[in-house]
Amino acid sequence: MLKSYKELNVCELETQTMISGDLGYMDKKGLQELREEIGDVERMLKAMIKSLENKHLNP
């Protein structure tokens, strides 16, 4: 199944985060904090999309 644009963007952020760590642009603590923030944003996006879908289905 194809992923949504949201999921693809989150995957891209995670990939760019890993690359920045591999290249030494960020330390381990910074990488971990960024990964946690990406996870938070992903959860918020899922909740917002679900809420909008519910409003559309049940106006």
Express each pLDDT in 6-40 by its tens digit: 677 888 999 999 999 999 999 999 999 999 999 99
Provide the pLDDT for residue 8: 77
Length of the chain: 59
Express each pLDDT in 40-59 by its tens digit: 988 998 888 888 888 877 76
Provide the pLDDT for residue 57: 74
> What end-to-end distance do the CA atoms of the chain give, in Å?
29
> For 28-36, which contacts have Cβ atoms below 8 Å and span 24 or more sequence positions?
none
pTM for the structure as a whole: 0.74
Q: How far apart, in whole angstroms, are the C-alpha atoms of residue 18 and residue 11?
A: 11
Q: What is the DSSP string of 17-47?
A: HHHHHHTTSS-HHHHHHHHHHHHHHHHHHHH
